[in-house]
Amino acid sequence: MLALTLVVLILFSIIIAGVLLFDLEGGKSEGVRLYTYPVSVAEKTYILAVRTNWTSAPEVYLPEFASNYVSVDFRGSLRATVFFNVTVPADLIWGEISVVWKYYEQSDDGYTLFYNVSHYTVEMNFYHTALVEHFEIRGTEGVIEQDRFVVTTATVSPSNSTPGLVTVAGEIRNNGAKNETILVIMQIKEPNGDIMSFENNSVLLEIPAGETRNVKFEPRIPLNVKIGIFNVQLEVHNINQTINYYSTGFIYPFTTPIRYHIYPDLGPKGFDFMMTVDGKTYHEGAVFYWYLGETHTIIVPHIVMVNDVYGWIFDGWGGPDGNILELTVTADHPTDIEISYGLYYP
């Protein structure tokens, strides 16, 4: 009889323990608490609600640099199956709703989604193992908060003295409520869409709340690029995320041709001087108008005889620099090219 009583007591204890365990591990109605969270975006306050059987209130917040998802964190060291039900206003996030757990998007059969015009509700069970179990309720669209950082002005000014040099300047305003350190990156895209590579194209900038700061970059564009529409961008980054960028188009290189005067520095006249420029023959000096970045080839004769007694021998381009008879010129600024000759006696 005593043995039977002990068996009954043991079975009853197991049943009670199972019921208590069910409250936390898989039960939806037992031990479920309701938590509400007001969140403000711009001038409107939204109410988010979480029902869960977890042992403490989860943390619910809108990420600082995103406007289309809600984060829910369950903190604690207990290992158990947890039920939760999150309700989000449909005018806070909307579109295609998805659930991310531990930064991995979940399949549709891993949770239940409800929609009643004014709200989305996500219901899910999971097994709590980490100190923080992180979830995100994502929409493809969300309410847009005022841009925290705004590039209020941006200018592009080509240099009048240094070929290829441009100045990219901008003013950035911090619309947030706290001081921030941001990373500003300058990019220039060629007409074909390729991004040009520059040194010193980024800068860290500290901006107090409500104030503006100036940035300036001085990239040098290669002189052999083609004329066309270039696109310059200032990107503002914080915590590895792009917050805002300003983009403007500008024309570079200039379409104004550059004057080049090429002429021989010869003594007596009357002999047959002959040079070629890009394959075309010229018997005297000539003036050319070339566009920035263009390349042209000049070839001159080594010896020019006046008669059987003497002549002229090539002595360099504007100075004694040897018998380099072929010169390639990349147009960058107005230039006079003098072809030097000295007396020659065979």
**Could you tell me the CA-to-CA distances from 335 to 245, 261, 262 in Å, in that order?**
40, 6, 9
pLDDT, tens only, 150-160: 777 778 777 76
Can the peptide bond before residue 219 be classed as cis, meaning omega within 30 degrees of 0? Answer: no
pLDDT bracket for residue 13 (50, 70, 90): very low
pLDDT bracket for residue 227 (50, 70, 90): low
The residues of the chain that CATH labels 2.60.40.2360 are 149-252
pLDDT, tens only, 62-115: 875 456 789 999 999 999 999 999 999 998 888 899 999 987 899 999 999 999
pLDDT, tens only, 39-63: 887 678 899 999 999 999 999 988 7
Task: Single out the residue of 106, 51, 105, 54 nearest to residue 79, CA to CA.
Answer: 54
- The overall average pLDDT reported for the chain is 79
Q: Which two tokens stand for residue 117?
A: 């015009």
Residue whose structure tokens are 């002549």 = 311
Are 132 and 75 in contact by the 8 Å Cβ rule? The answer is yes
Residue whose structure tokens are 């000096």 = 285
Are 155 and 169 in contact by the 8 Å Cβ rule? The answer is yes
| CATH fold group of domain 258-344 | Immunoglobulin-like (2.60.40)
pTM summary value: 0.39
Q: How far apart are CA 203 and CA 182, in angstroms?
A: 8
Q: How far apart are CA 120 and CA 125, in angstroms?
A: 17
Q: Which DSSP letter does residue 197 get?
A: P
Task: Single out the residue of 65, 56, 57, 122 nearest to residue 89, CA to CA.
Answer: 122
Looking at the DSSP bridge assignments, the partners of residue 326 are 299
Report which of residues 259 and 121 the model is more confident about. 121
Are 238 and 182 in contact by the 8 Å Cβ rule? The answer is yes
- Average pLDDT rounded to a whole number, residues 253-272: 68
- Coil, strand or helix at 108: helix
Q: How far apart are CA 151 and CA 234, in angstroms?
A: 8
For the chain, the maximum distance between any two Cα atoms, rounded to a whole number of angstroms, is 145
Q: Which DSSP letter does residue 196 get?
A: P
pLDDT bracket for residue 222 (50, 70, 90): confident
pLDDT number for residue 163: 66
Architecture per CATH, 149-252: Sandwich (2.60)
For the chain, percent of residues with pLDDT exceeding 90: 28
Ramachandran area for residue 164 (φ above 0: left; ψ -120 to 50: alpha; else beta): left
Q: Which two tokens stand for residue 183?
A: 């990373």
Residue type, 310: Y
Are 217 and 201 in contact by the 8 Å Cβ rule? The answer is yes
pLDDT bracket for residue 27 (50, 70, 90): very low
Task: Single out the residue of 293, 295, 292 nearest to residue 256, CA to CA.
Answer: 292
Per 3-state DSSP, the chain is made up of helix, strand and coil in percentages (nearest 5) of 10, 55, 40
pLDDT number for residue 6: 43
Give the DSSP per-residue string, 144-170: PPPPSEEEEEEEEEE-SSSTTBEEEEE
Q: Which two tokens stand for residue 197?
A: 């590579």
pLDDT number for residue 221: 78
Is residue 192 over pLDDT 70? yes
